[in-house]
A = this chain, B = another copy of it.
């Protein structure tokens, strides 16, 4: 941590590779540090120059007579290891390596990056880069622009972490237009030293930072990211929203991402799970994250979902309404008090609804009274003000009215002044006063909705990972036995036994090795029963006549026992037969699927989905990284698109979702207890009406090789 501090708040910086050549990176970077009015001291390092930009230069970093906190390295890639070695010897604790030519070019570059890693570990240097644009800190006691970009951002409360240097340059330019300010600005490059996780930990403690914006192409450690991000977004007193754009959403995009920085992109569904589980707001486009960061950095969070739309033109009001509804906001109804107030200032023909159309003639007075009246309602949590300039409007006066009301009432207000030139002065006024203005009504609505979602995240019931009291040892014995037999999969009965140990509601079943045992087992379980072949050689039992359903009595049991054996002997004469499974024939219910896959990068990932081919075709499944908290289990079920079918759809039954959630939590504990498990499928789990539980009727467990 101390070392990271020397990156953001160095008292002295060595610019290794500083250059006299105008336009070169080594020149731009030095000039930027000087021009940003850096509060410490700068030492250019260049083997040939005597002075650069009027500042005395040193041949090597070791020649600098004073202590140095931070080295900015701009030399060719091949020289970087030697330079960092010297930095280590000099006792420098922080380094920003701008130089490219490492992992991103493959081959030789990969090796070079490994060497760099070893050196920084040896000297305990905190490193940003290589292959990056640099770092900015706008804090007054630092004032450091250690980048080779063309602009120093405005001071503000947003920290930006980017895995793309090029994007940093563009972001600075957009930010200037949108009047957005930054606290810290970090181009991470190849992340050979500091990663997004280290930086998040640092920014969590940074008093200048209220909102964290990230551009990511991969995560170095998804689980660590989750736990750090969760802490930040869930902080009791001072939660900081994290807004992330993760490139590589589509398969082709992910391939492009991995060829870009040599990063392992991972499945995008897993990233969705990670972000959802730790409250990170994921934007889909560059534009979205800008839209979000504007409002999060400037407005208080809404207390709820209800918005008031105030407009002087119908059309844009309707467009905003459509978007509010689409993104999950409600339009609050007008209170009697509001209606009464509005009647005093609006013509009698005005229709008093939400969206509230003040009509084209509205002046600042009407806007002010209307916004104030609506925001004062307890059931209104935010306001979206739309202004279309007409022949009658004084844009500046109306903007001032919006600002005035917004300053008095602590609820989020966003505006949309339609147009560009006609409204530019109004927009400037609003943004100077921290009211985010959007180019289009739909974007304003979407940004407000995102605020509301973050409020829901903060208000969520805080739950823990439930710990079931189970006999882990017994499950362990079964799995060890399977392994000792050289198998990488559990037989059905073994899978059932393991799951039973973990308290899953498994269908009743007995392995019978004789006709007599089959009959006595059937009687014990109770007719009707299902009979299935048990064989380590047969995975698809149905295909070989290995399953007989609805066996009604002793006689049928006897017949079925022999018929299954005959079928298998005829069709799979070499199969080893362990016996015949006699199973309870369960009554019909709704089929759902539970699963787990062990991901090389992210560990065990749980899956939930409704059964049936339609759901498969729609890929309507939800993933979550294990272990899951109690709330997450509920969310996995509720977030599927077809969830409503479990919840009394069109007068149908309400199914026992708590029983499914219970299974998901047990599954989470099981896969966390046994790292050996590669894949697990419970398909189907049959769910009954609320209170009647659920039952596993098929399960498959595969171990890692």
Query: Which A residues are within 8 Å of any B CB, using their own CB?
Result: 23, 25, 28, 100-101, 105-106, 109, 148-151, 162-167, 169-170, 172-174, 176-177, 215, 217, 245, 247-253, 256-257, 259-261, 284-287, 312-319, 321-326, 331, 349, 351, 353, 355, 357, 360, 388-391, 418-423, 439-443, 610, 612-618, 641-642, 644-645, 649-650, 652
A285 contacts B319, CB within 8 Å?
yes
CB distance from A198 to the nearest CB of B (A): 21
Chain B residues whose C-beta falls within 8 Å of the C-beta of A641 in the assembled complex? 617-618
CB distance from A643 to the nearest CB of B (A): 8
Residue on B nearest A163 in the bound complex, by CB: B315
A252 contacts B615, CB within 8 Å?
no
A318 contacts B388, CB within 8 Å?
no
Chain B residues whose C-beta falls within 8 Å of the C-beta of A613 in the assembled complex? 645, 649-650, 652
Q: Give CA–CA (A162, B617) in the complex, Å.
A: 40
B315 contacts A253, CB within 8 Å?
no
A–B complex contacts, Cβ < 8 Å, 13 sampled: A163-B315, A167-B388, A170-B418, A173-B422, A247-B318, A250-B321, A253-B325, A256-B314, A257-B314, A285-B319, A287-B439, A287-B440, A614-B618
B177 contacts A421, CB within 8 Å?
yes
A315 contacts B442, CB within 8 Å?
no
A389 contacts B170, CB within 8 Å?
yes
Q: Give CA–CA (A331, B389) in the complex, Å.
A: 42
B318 contacts A421, CB within 8 Å?
no
B177 contacts A331, CB within 8 Å?
no
Q: Give CA–CA (A554, B207) in the complex, Å.
A: 87
Shortest 5 CB-CB contacts between residues of A and residues of B: A164-B315, A166-B313, A173-B419, A170-B418, A260-B314
Chain B residues whose C-beta falls within 8 Å of the C-beta of A617 in the assembled complex? 641-642, 644-645, 649
Chain B residues whose C-beta falls within 8 Å of the C-beta of A251 in the assembled complex? 325
B418 contacts A388, CB within 8 Å?
no
B217 contacts A315, CB within 8 Å?
yes
Q: Which of A151, A321, A322, A440 has the most CB of B within 10 A?
A: A322
B170 contacts A318, CB within 8 Å?
no
Number of copies: 2
B323 contacts A164, CB within 8 Å?
no
Q: Give CA–CA (A194, B499) in the complex, Å.
A: 72
CB distance from A209 to the nearest CB of B (A): 22
B349 contacts A260, CB within 8 Å?
no
Residue on B nearest A268 in the bound complex, by CB: B322
Residue on B nearest A28 in the bound complex, by CB: B391
Q: Give CA–CA (A649, B360) in the complex, Å.
A: 55
B419 contacts A170, CB within 8 Å?
yes
Q: Give CA–CA (A351, B319) in the complex, Å.
A: 44
Residue on B nearest A320 in the bound complex, by CB: B253
Chain B residues whose C-beta falls within 8 Å of the C-beta of A419 in the assembled complex? 169-170, 172-174
Q: Give CA–CA (A257, B652) in the complex, Å.
A: 34
A260 contacts B331, CB within 8 Å?
no
Residue on B nearest A611 in the bound complex, by CB: B614
Q: Say yes or no: A318-B248 contact (C-beta < 8 A), given A177-B420, A442-B286.
A: yes
Q: Give CA–CA (A312, B260) in the complex, Å.
A: 11
Q: Say yes or no: A247-B319 contact (C-beta < 8 A), given A174-B419, A286-B442, A613-B652.
A: yes
CB distance from A644 to the nearest CB of B (A): 5
Chain B residues whose C-beta falls within 8 Å of the C-beta of A645 in the assembled complex? 613-614, 617
Chain B residues whose C-beta falls within 8 Å of the C-beta of A106 in the assembled complex? 349
B256 contacts A355, CB within 8 Å?
yes
A169 contacts B390, CB within 8 Å?
yes
CB distance from A405 to the nearest CB of B (A): 22
